[in-house]
């Protein structure tokens, strides 16, 4: 079994000193870190210095590189804004579903060019098994959120946030689509740990500068992920990719 973590905003650096590895993919090269004494790969979604805007991330290359390395289980980590007053900044939650409001991104391998056209079934975009494992490792019940992905890099208007609330979204971010979709297309079991950095536009007078996760919370998230990796039983992970 091979594992990976995809870290986002505020999570680029935990393994900065780890040996890096360049993986060639049909979509371009990807730099990954292979931390010593650990049994997982670490991929910094925005590049190692947070240089890549959400719509410019090479999502297909990232996921392909993980597949190339034989990765089966992935925890993504994303910074999100909260649409719920009671899901306050500093909270951790897990994703259970998504709404896609992005445009123009390369969001499939099965586009009829690279691979024959195929339609992925999407009842469970996120692995309920990995979610449960993380919750157990975390030691507290965690809210399961509907994640709405915006195009970014700007934040939302207050009117947009009202619409997103009506649509049933709980948190907003800019990167999890197409990451989760591509992972599923290649049969990876994927779960998303969200850390809330702010209440969204309109819920506060002004959205404050989005701060990084506090160091102790960051450590706790990583420890819970590592513990989850240790307890994975592939026979309990269930089927993942279904085509309609």
Q: Say whether residue 83 binds ligand HPA (CB under 6 A).
A: no
Q: Say whether residue 80 binds ligand HPA (CB under 6 A).
A: yes
Minimum Å gap between C-beta 136 and ligand HPA is: 26
Minimum Å gap between C-beta 236 and ligand HPA is: 32
How many helices (H) and strands (E) would you count in the chain? 5, 9
d(CA 210, CA 9): 10
Encoded one letter per residue, x for contact with ligand HPA by CB under 6 A and - for no contact, window 197-216 reads xx-x------x--x------
Q: Say whether residue 155 binds ligand HPA (CB under 6 A).
A: yes
Q: Say whether residue 101 binds ligand HPA (CB under 6 A).
A: no
Q: Say whether residue 172 binds ligand HPA (CB under 6 A).
A: yes
Which contiguous run of DSSP H or E holds residue 7? strand 3-7
Task: Give 28 or 153: the residue with its C-beta nearer to ligand HPA.
Answer: 153
- DSSP states along 51-109: -S-GGG--HHHHHHHHHHTT--EEEEEEEEEESSTTS-TT-EEEEEEEEE---S----S
Q: Say whether residue 131 binds ligand HPA (CB under 6 A).
A: no
Q: Cα dist. 134→8, 14, 225 in Å?
A: 18, 19, 6
Pick the closest to residue 163 from 101, 94, 92 (CA basis).
101
d(CA 67, CA 5): 13
Task: Give 133 or 148: the residue with its C-beta nearer to ligand HPA.
Answer: 148
For ligand HPA (CB under 6 A), the number of binding residues is 14
Minimum Å gap between C-beta 20 and ligand HPA is: 26
Q: Which residues bind ligand HPA (CB under 6 A)?
A: 79-81, 150, 155-156, 172-174, 197-198, 200, 207, 210
């Amino acid at each position: 079994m091979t594992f990976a973590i995809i870290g986002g905003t505020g999570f680029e650096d935990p393994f900065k000193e780890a040996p890096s590895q360049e993986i060639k993919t049909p979509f371009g090269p990807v730099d990954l870190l292979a931390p010593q004494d650990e049994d997982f790969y670490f991929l910094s979604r925005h590049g190692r210095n947070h240089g890549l805007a959400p719509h410019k991330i090479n999502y297909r290359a990232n996921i392909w590189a993980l597949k190339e390395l034989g990765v089966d289980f992935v925890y993504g980590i994303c910074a999100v804004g909260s649409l719920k007053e009671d899901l306050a900044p500093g909270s951790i939650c897990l994703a259970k579903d998504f709404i896609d409001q992005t445009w123009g991104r390369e969001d499939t391998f099965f586009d009829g060019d690279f691979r024959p056209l195929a339609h992925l079934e999407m009842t469970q975009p996120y692995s309920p098994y990995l979610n449960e494992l993380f919750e157990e490792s975390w030691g507290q019940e965690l809210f399961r959120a509907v994640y709405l992905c915006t195009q970014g890099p700007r934040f939302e208007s207050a009117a947009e946030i009202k619409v997103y609330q009506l649509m049933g979204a709980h948190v907003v971010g800019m990167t999890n689509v197409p990451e989760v979709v591509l992972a599923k297309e290649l049969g990876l079991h994927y779960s998303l740990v969200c850390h809330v950095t702010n209440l969204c536009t309109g819920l506060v007078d002004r959205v404050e500068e989005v701060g990084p996760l506090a160091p102790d919370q960051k450590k706790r998230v990583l420890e819970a992920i590592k513990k989850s990796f240790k307890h994975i039983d592939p026979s309990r992970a269930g089927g993942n990719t279904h085509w309609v």
